[in-house]
Amino acid sequence: MRANIGTWVGFILVSVASLVAYKTAWGASFYWLLLGCLAVSAVVMGLVILRQTGVKPWSLAVVVGGLLIGQWWLIKFLLIVAFGKLRGFAP
């Protein structure tokens, strides 16, 4: 059980770090690289957590919630691209 707690803490820290980097590091030259690395780390940790705990409703909800909060920048970007492809931008 100790390994699970460490993985959960790492996942939460990466999700919070991603949110903080998105809000504060936008002027840095490595901004997109940092966000990309944090996103990949969060997804990998989330998959490890789901593998360790099994796909239970509570663990799935927490992992998806953490990804939604930490990777909101990526979700927002993908939604903008999807809307642009489907309906186009201003006529």
Round to whole Å and give the CA distance between 58 and 66. Answer: 12
* CB distance 73 to 20 below 8 Å: no
Q: How confident is the model at residue 55 (pLDDT cuts 50, 70, 90)?
A: confident
* CB distance 37 to 18 below 8 Å: no
- Would you say the pTM of this structure is higher than 0.85? no
H helices of the chain, in order, are: 2-24, 31-53, 57-70, 72-86
Tokens of 45: 């940790």
Round to whole Å and give the CA distance between 73 and 21. Answer: 10
Q: What is the predicted pLDDT for the residue at 1?
A: 46
Looking at the chain, how many residues does it have?
91
Round to whole Å and give the CA distance between 15 and 17. Answer: 5
